[in-house]
Amino acid sequence: MTRAGRVVIVAFMLMAGSALQAQTQLVIVSGLGGEPKYSRLFSELSVALADAAQQRAGLSDSAITWLGETNPAGSRWYRGASRRENIERVLGRLAERPDGNEQLVLVLIGHGSGEGQDTRISLPGADLTAADFARLLAAFGTRRVAFMNLTSASGDMLSLLAAPQRVVLTATKSAFERNESQFGRFFVDAFAKDGADTDKDGRVSLQEAFQYADAETKRFYETEGRLATEHAQMADANQLARRFFLSSGAVATAGPGSDTRLAALYAERSTLDEQIEVLKKRKMQMSADAYERELEQVLLSLAITSREIRRLERGT
């Protein structure tokens, strides 16, 4: 066994069982239905996602914001109408919070239209376009952001919103796929139901959710004997999606004054993860000894950081 192989085993043993996710703020925006059946569907999907985020991923009520056309079910996550000014206010407020180790997951559910910078989600009142979202998300700087556009005709937003610390997903590959999207409900199912957790670690990453929803969407069209009118896509330059979860770090049991330390450790672990990905890309340009030496250093740092996180989370 190589030196790097031995270090991988040690690092895995030290990290096993720890919850290492960043603190998540989930913002769900469901747009204008146009017809009662769509208004009802968009609300149901929003509530199902919020419920899964709390029941399965452990997010608190305060970490979940749903802005929708209406609140027919009296959901406790509803924070107001999905009007342009409310969305801008919520995202602006979150962008102003201290960075710490907080990440944003923004999910759009509804009807989409337009092309290029004018690609939009249909809202009560004035719509928000791709250009608007680019402006709003720029305020989050280098913070990790997941932008999940589950609307029809959403495809053009992908290239316009892609960024290094950002995962961008659209339900279609272009603005011309305008029919009702099935992908959105399967994406919500990935978090609300069993089946998407392919690595059986008890969590569903954005990568797993995308793969599950994509496969189920294809199955839907095949079963119905219909030509597929949507093709989901994802931009993930730094391979964040496979380690991007809805779940938040477990800080509730940590000792007094440890939250700040945990936030720093979560950020450190994220940086180390990214260093490993960069190193993998450089492997073919390095000698075997140099690659294993650098990998060993990063993996050992990762193992030590993970062990300290686990200690603080347990309050010991």
Q: What is the pLDDT of residue 22?
A: 61
- Which of 211-220, 247-256, 269-278, 282-291 tops mean pLDDT? 211-220
Domain boundaries, the chain: 3-18+251-313, 23-243
* Cβ-contact 111, 34 below 8 angstroms: yes
As given in the structure block, the two tokens for residue 178 are: 């305008």
Cα 227 to Cα 53, 174, 213, 217, 218: the distances in Å are 33, 16, 17, 11, 10
pTM, two decimals, is: 0.76
- Separation between Cα atoms, residue 152 and residue 297, nearest integer Å: 46
* Cβ-contact 87, 29 below 8 angstroms: yes
At residue 159, does pLDDT exceed 60?
A: yes
- Separation between Cα atoms, residue 28 and residue 40, nearest integer Å: 15
For the structural domain made of 23-243, what CATH number should be given? 3.40.50.1460
Q: What average pLDDT does this structure show over 57-80?
A: 93
As given in the structure block, the two tokens for residue 42 are: 């968009």
At residue 60, does pLDDT exceed 60?
A: yes
Predicted confidence band at 11 (pLDDT cuts at 50, 70, 90)? very low
Q: What is the pLDDT of residue 247?
A: 78
Q: What average pLDDT does this structure show over 177-181?
A: 94
